[in-house]
Chains A and B, each alone.
Chain A
């Protein structure tokens, strides 16, 4: 996650026309660059585009692609659409939450993962589907969860000794 710097915001704002229409593209750009929409960015955007802060807040809270709280390095979207649900997505989600020590979908304490449940990602033939960042993982099972998370967790952030534990767990599952 990058810390938000006001200078970068000003550079971003310069690229967009100062009209109401550029509100959503601008919010999308801020979201992709900084993983969330900080409060002061929304205030700055509102004054720059002459849109009331209420409207900006309304748009920012309406679309699920925008987030007002910092999200983790990797966004994990577990599809809970009908096809995925039938093929065991709730179990995959439960397993993932347990592995990441989360009670409900959210962000882990080390800011590595944000788990979200989504309705349908539009590839029901691959159910159950998990999307991590822009990669789609088809045919997920509970057994695959750990290995997948391990792949994304960067090595330096991993507590010492956990690697062996993960390998052991996987070995048990596969045997």
Chain B
């Protein structure tokens, strides 16, 4: 049974579990777009990126995807450090530009307090997360759709673009798709970045050195807390808050 440390908390998990499983066991929310509990880990969306070092390491950390990283003895993991949050925010910015019409992606962007979108929107209908392909093959045992081509031309397709007789039209591919569900436009005009669900009202004083309080959702940390990218972190205030406790 490997024992690892996530955000300073020791946790013992079953052999074969991933770091993402371990973090979820602790109730730490790591955002994902390509992960589903019933499907094999894929590591495509990279949103579950975490900062990992060994307990005997020299302080150097690696950025790895939690869903494909097996939980091993002595791993030291930071799931919401400033570096990780910055990487996720950049990823989300790119996802929003690829599929601005997706509710799942817009919700995540709101959650991460994204206020700007620097890239031109593409309005693609696929982020190549591979959920539908894996769902069709692993859960529906059909394998009616798959990837074709490679690089920039890679796409989800049916063989020869003819609906396969293996397809039972069960709709599982649509069910898991993070892009199919369209976002609401709300009262404001159509924009690349939605942000309709940003909540500015709550105030939270619980912040630790390199982690958030993990209340889900804790908009205060994300919007007004020390982990905002555009607000410099005031370590002195964080530390004094800890000392008071």
The interface residues of chain A lying within 8 Å CB-to-CB of B159 are: 42, 53-54, 56-57
User: Which residue of chain A is the closest to B144 with respect to CB atoms?
Assistant: A54
B147-184 vs A, CB cutoff 8 Å, 1 = contact: the mask equals: 11110000001111000101000000000000000000
Main SS class of interface, A = helix
A39, A42, A54, most chain B CB atoms within 10 A: A54
Range of interface residues on B (Cβ < 8 Å): 10 to 19
Question: Roughly how many angstroms separate A171 CA and B186 CA in the complex, as a whole number?
Answer: 71
Do the beta carbons of A53 and B149 come within 8 Å of each other? no
Question: Roughly how many angstroms separate A58 CA and B137 CA in the complex, as a whole number?
Answer: 14
The interface residues of chain A lying within 8 Å CB-to-CB of B143 are: 52-55
Question: Roughly how many angstroms separate A42 CA and B137 CA in the complex, as a whole number?
Answer: 19
Question: Roughly how many angstroms separate A58 CA and B143 CA in the complex, as a whole number?
Answer: 11
User: Which residue of chain B is the closest to A42 with respect to CB atoms?
Assistant: B159
Question: Roughly how many angstroms separate A75 CA and B147 CA in the complex, as a whole number?
Answer: 27
Do the beta carbons of A54 and B164 come within 8 Å of each other? yes
Q: A128 CB to closest chain B CB, in angstroms?
A: 23
A55-72 vs B, CB cutoff 8 Å, 1 = contact: the mask equals: 111100110000000000
Q: How many A-B pairs fall under 8 Å by CB? A: 35
Question: Roughly how many angstroms separate A54 CA and B157 CA in the complex, as a whole number?
Answer: 9
Question: Roughly how many angstroms separate A58 CA and B155 CA in the complex, as a whole number?
Answer: 10
Do the beta carbons of A54 and B146 come within 8 Å of each other? yes
Question: Roughly how many angstroms separate A61 CA and B148 CA in the complex, as a whole number?
Answer: 6
Do the beta carbons of B146 and A39 come within 8 Å of each other? no
User: Which residue of chain A is the closest to B155 with respect to CB atoms?
Assistant: A61
Q: Choose one: B148, B150, B166; the contact of A57 (CB below 8 Å).
A: B148
Question: Roughly how many angstroms separate A42 CA and B146 CA in the complex, as a whole number?
Answer: 15
The interface residues of chain A lying within 8 Å CB-to-CB of B137 are: 52, 54
Q: B214 CB to closest chain A CB, in angstroms?
A: 40
A55, A56, A57, A62, most chain B CB atoms within 10 A: A57
Question: Roughly how many angstroms separate A58 CA and B148 CA in the complex, as a whole number?
Answer: 5
The interface residues of chain A lying within 8 Å CB-to-CB of B144 are: 54
Q: A7 CB to closest chain B CB, in angstroms?
A: 23
Range of interface residues on A (Cβ < 8 Å): 10 to 19
The interface residues of chain B lying within 8 Å CB-to-CB of A53 are: 143, 159, 164, 166
The interface residues of chain A lying within 8 Å CB-to-CB of B48 are: none
Determine whether B45 belongs to the interface, using a CB cutoff of 8 Å to chain A. Answer: no
Question: Roughly how many angstroms separate A56 CA and B159 CA in the complex, as a whole number?
Answer: 9
Q: Choose one: B146, B160, B164, B166; the contact of A58 (CB below 8 Å).
A: B146
Question: Roughly how many angstroms separate A67 CA and B160 CA in the complex, as a whole number?
Answer: 13
Question: Roughly how many angstroms separate A53 CA and B160 CA in the complex, as a whole number?
Answer: 10
Question: Roughly how many angstroms separate A9 CA and B150 CA in the complex, as a whole number?
Answer: 27
Question: Roughly how many angstroms separate A140 CA and B243 CA in the complex, as a whole number?
Answer: 74
Q: Which of A58-115 contact B (CB under 8 A)?
A: 58, 61-62
The interface residues of chain B lying within 8 Å CB-to-CB of A54 are: 137, 143-146, 158-159, 164
The interface residues of chain B lying within 8 Å CB-to-CB of A56 are: 159
Q: A159 CB to closest chain B CB, in angstroms?
A: 35
User: Other CB < 8 Å A-B pairs besides A54-B143, A61-B150, A62-B148, 20 of them?
Assistant: A42-B159, A52-B137, A52-B143, A53-B159, A53-B164, A53-B166, A54-B144, A54-B158, A54-B159, A54-B164, A55-B146, A57-B146, A57-B148, A57-B157, A58-B146, A58-B147, A58-B148, A61-B148, A62-B149, A62-B150
Listed A/B pairs (17) with beta-carbon separation below 8 Å = A42-B159, A52-B137, A52-B166, A53-B159, A53-B164, A54-B137, A54-B145, A54-B146, A54-B158, A54-B159, A55-B143, A57-B157, A58-B147, A61-B148, A61-B149, A62-B148, A62-B149
Which chain B residues have a beta carbon within 8 Å of chain A's beta carbons? Answer: 137, 143-150, 157-160, 164, 166
